[in-house]
Amino acid sequence: MPETCDVAIIGGGVIGCAIAHRLGSEGRDVVLIDAGDRLGLGASDAAMGGILTQTEPACLGPLSTVIKRSRDIYQDWLDELTSISGAAVHVLDGGDIQVALDDAAMTRLETDVLPQWKNSPFAVVRLTAADAKELEPLLSDAVVGGFLLPEELALDPRELMVALGRALTLEGGAVRVRLGSRATGLESTPNGVVVELGDGSRISAGTVVVAAGHHSVHFLPELREHLFPIKGEAFDMRPPGATTYPLRHHVFTEIIEDGYEGYPYLVPRHDGRVAVGVTYEPRVGEAEVTDRARDEIMRGVAALMPAATNWPIEKRWAGLRPGSTDHMPIIGFVDVHERVLAATGHSGLGVTLAPVTAEMVSALIRRDVDEETRKRLDICRPDRTFVAATPAETTATPAETAAARARTAAARAETAATPADRAATPVETPAPTTP
């Protein structure tokens, strides 16, 4: 006889685990299936850990309402996980600093990006060069100005996955975790779904949630055209002697010079490490580290924070984000029986969107979707018209792709605003709210 459950979830990354935790806490009998020997071995393990409200171009379009809901409930979600699990998840709450290294970059920020930030529900604070250097003294002397995004948080995704994993095992038996089990197929009927496993066994579930990252296309062939891997590389560095946060903010810049386009991003960890990245290679499906990517990232780091070039690299990694054609997640039922539910395509926003994704999936399974949740689900629905956010993704270089994404996000801005005097230092939008 097949194993039975209310809900089977394929994929043990941050999205699958967040959904399993939510459903288990609501009293549903859940089986979580993952082929790895521990949870979070895919994109979640390779994530930088930014909880982003504005940095990613996708945050500034229709997805902003989904981002806002996730940010509003994030701290309560973390508090619940850490209370249940007893595991610490250290959160850096100083915000994200985005700086310009020359006048042309500052003009791009002011004309292309600032109007969108003003139109978002999140705060942005203008920084002079002196302001930026006061906040982060290790920034390059080339910095001419920038902006603080105070509501962007950062954490270590590995700590988050430990807390999620422990919370699942302490859920009172509501969630059964099947590690080392590879799902190979689904059969949907009006009465439920049968999940075929690689060892020949089967699981019979009332509902199946496919949260397997870019591998979700194996179970959702209708999404094959719109769901694909985006390879990214990054590494951990450690300033000599550092045992706690070596920076007070996560830091980002865009560099366009001499045929080079780079997007260096530094995220400090509570134990003294700094995660440094990151690259974008759409439709590359092999997660292998390369010297080319390391050199590309280090060139950007040298321009943004020269002192960091002397920090030793402790660990390098590559991962595969689940990308979608329009850079927005895919969440909703995909079969006529409403038994198979997709929760994938989060690109670089899986950590950011985990709590709201779990909330939306729970509402769908309960058949209890309020008006605000319905609006958020409509943005992510699997049967939407996918408008390509990046031209020629299959042939673009990582830098070309990132630049195109930024240009597309600028074009999506619903309103424009005249940039204020760069020397001024006001808060550009209302002060941040407490999540």
Question: 225-280 pLDDT, tens per residue?
Answer: 999 999 999 999 999 999 999 999 999 999 988 888 899 999 999 999 999 999 99
432 or 200: which carries more pLDDT confidence? 200
Q: Tell whether the model's pLDDT for residue 419 goes beyond 90.
A: no
pLDDT above 80 (res 432): no
CB atoms within 10 A of CB 220: 22
Give percent of the chain above pLDDT 70: 89
Pairing of the two strands 153-155 and 91-92: antiparallel
Q: Any idea what DSSP says for residue 260?
A: E
How does pLDDT run across 208-220, given as a tens digit for each residue? 999 999 999 999 9
pLDDT at 400 over 60: no
Q: Please give the mean pLDDT across all residues of the chain.
A: 90
Mean pLDDT of 399-404: 41
Query: CA 425, 428, 429 angle in degrees (round to 5)?
Result: 145
Q: pLDDT at residue 415 above 80? A: no
pLDDT(128) > 90: yes
- The pLDDT assigned to 170 comes to 87
pLDDT at 389: 63
| Contact (CB, 8 A) for 81 and 24 | no
Helix (H) or strand (E) holding 186: strand 183-189
Q: Which residue has the higher pLDDT, 337 or 416?
A: 337
pLDDT in tens, 137-153: 999 999 999 999 999 99
pLDDT value at 90 more than 90: yes
Residue range 280-318, pLDDT digits in tens: 999 999 999 999 999 999 999 999 999 999 999 999 999
What is the mean pLDDT of the segment spanning 30-49? 95
Question: Crossing angle, helix 157-169 and helix 64-85, to 10 degrees?
Answer: 60
Cut 0.85: pTM above it: yes
Are the beta carbons of 40 and 168 closer than 8 angstroms? no
Sorting pLDDT into bands at 50, 70 and 90, what band is 173?
confident
pLDDT average, residue stretch 31-51: 95
Q: Quick one: pLDDT at residue 239?
A: 98
Residue 258 has a pLDDT of: 81
- 205: phi then psi, degrees, rounded to nearest 5: -130, 150
333 contacts 360 by C-beta, under 8 angstroms: no
Judge contact between 203 and 33, C-beta under 8 A: yes
Does residue 204 register a pLDDT over 60?
Answer: yes
Classify burial at 258, counting beta carbons within 10 Å of its beta carbon; exposed 0-12, middle 13-18, buried 19 or more.
exposed
Interhelix angle 350-366/14-25, nearest 10 degrees: 40
All structural domains of the chain: 3-412 (3.50.50.60)
